[in-house]
């Protein structure tokens, strides 16, 4: 695997990149996070989180995946020197999933250039890298570009799916053939490629193009300034086009209106729900956070109409003193 990654990097990335291969991989840092047990996300994401990030600013600005640093009380980043440096949370955007942190001392590397992730097409070769240089770089192929619907009320357009999968995907860097940053690692998925009777496992990456329009606002304000989407507080699963509620966040709008695990979502505002993507699009189309979301729910054998006064997800998150 290491030999294949080395060949890919030297044969494809290095000749057309403005940065040497060593400098490209040096921009990938290790990110270690501590979260208080009282954090909303502690029960699902844990109180100690480990992943990666990529240096994109001379002042120590690093982009990573947001769930690593959400509600963090302590953040440390480790660059090529191997010495951990404290960092602070700069910004978090739940709609894309990006997180930004800044090291107390700038990392001694040339920041990576952001690429054009819209150029990545299926069957294109890429390089996936975690902190650790050549030995932590893996050759991969883009196997799909499609919308991803996550169980936590998350909808990402034109997500990047690669294979083979890597295990340390959180905050991993996705480099294109020109050595620029194309995406940030988010998940392991069993269906990166959907081939009818046979799926191919891989990783899902958030396209870096989604960061560009909101980067300045995240740095300045900690979050994008566009109206937030409505949030209900549900964890849901799709089975044959039907959406079932499997978890309701404590003290969330959904919990306060009587939604429970096992409920089946039939419609939103009179429009039928035909899967997670359909469910989220119908919720978002009602209006911004604070809008009342009319749902038809099947509870056991009974159909029930429930209106959920949605909320701004940021008001629920308890971001710590580094934010």
pLDDT per residue as tens digits for the range 55-88: 999 999 999 999 999 999 999 999 999 999 999 9
Q: Do 293 and 279 meet the contact criterion of CB atoms below 8 Å apart?
A: no
Burial class (CB in 10 A: 0-12, 13-18, 19+), 59: exposed
d(Cα 156, Cα 207) in Å, to the nearest integer? 9
Q: Which pTM does this prediction carry?
A: 0.92
Domains of the chain: 26-110 (2.40.10.10), 117-215 (2.40.10.10), 234-316 (2.30.42.10)
pLDDT value for 323: 62
Q: Do 306 and 259 meet the contact criterion of CB atoms below 8 Å apart?
A: yes
pLDDT per residue as tens digits for the range 133-143: 989 999 999 99
Of 111, 101, 205, the C-alpha closest to 162 is 205
d(Cα 256, Cα 318) in Å, to the nearest integer? 19
The average confidence (pLDDT) of the chain is: 93
Q: Do 18 and 114 meet the contact criterion of CB atoms below 8 Å apart?
A: no
pLDDT per residue as tens digits for the range 260-305: 999 999 999 999 999 999 999 999 999 999 999 999 999 999 999 9
pLDDT per residue as tens digits for the range 11-61: 555 545 556 788 999 999 999 999 999 999 999 999 999 999 999 999 999
Span 199-220, average pLDDT: 97
Confidence of residue 2 (pLDDT cuts 50, 70, 90): very low
Which ranges of 27-128 would DSSP assign to H, the alpha helix?
Answer: 42-45, 66-69
């Amino acid at each position: 695997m290491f030999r294949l990654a080395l060949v890919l990097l030297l044969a494809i990335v290095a000749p057309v990149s403005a940065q040497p291969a060593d400098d490209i991989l040096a921009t990938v840092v290790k990110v270690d996070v501590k979260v208080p047990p009282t954090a909303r996300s502690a029960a699902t994401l844990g109180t100690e989180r480990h992943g990666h990030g990529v240096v994109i600013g001379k002042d120590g600005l690093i982009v990573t995946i947001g769930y690593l640093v959400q509600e963090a009380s302590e953040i440390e980043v480790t660059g090529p020197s191997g010495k951990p440096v404290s960092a602070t949370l700069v910004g978090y955007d739940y709609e894309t999933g990006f997180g930004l942190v800044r090291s107390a001392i700038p990392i001694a590397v040339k920041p990576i250039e952001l690429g054009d992730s819209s150029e990545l097409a299926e069957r294109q070769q890429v390089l996936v890298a975690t902190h650790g240089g050549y030995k932590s770089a893996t050759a991969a192929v883009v196997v799909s570009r499609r919308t991803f619907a996550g169980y936590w009320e998350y909808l990402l357009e034109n997500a990047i799916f690669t294979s083979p999968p890597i295990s340390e995907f959180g905050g991993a860097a996705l480099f294109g053939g020109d050595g620029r940053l194309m995406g940030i690692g988010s998940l392991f998925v069993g269906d990166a490629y959907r081939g009818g009777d046979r799926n191919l496992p891989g990783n899902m990456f958030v396209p870096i193009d989604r960061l560009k329009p909101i980067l300045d606002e995240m740095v300045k304000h900690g979050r994008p300034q566009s109206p937030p989407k409505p949030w209900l507080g549900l964890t849901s699963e799709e089975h044959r086009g039907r959406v079932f509620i499997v978890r309701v966040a404590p003290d969330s709008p959904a919990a306060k209106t009587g939604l429970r695990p096992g409920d089946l979502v039939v419609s939103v505002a009179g429009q039928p729900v035909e899967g997670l993507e359909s469910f989220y699009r119908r919720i978002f189309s009602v209006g911004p956070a604070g809008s009342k979301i009319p749902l038809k729910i099947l509870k056991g054998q009974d159909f029930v109409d429930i209106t959920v006064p949605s909320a701004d997800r940021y008001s629920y998150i308890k971001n710590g003193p580094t934010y």
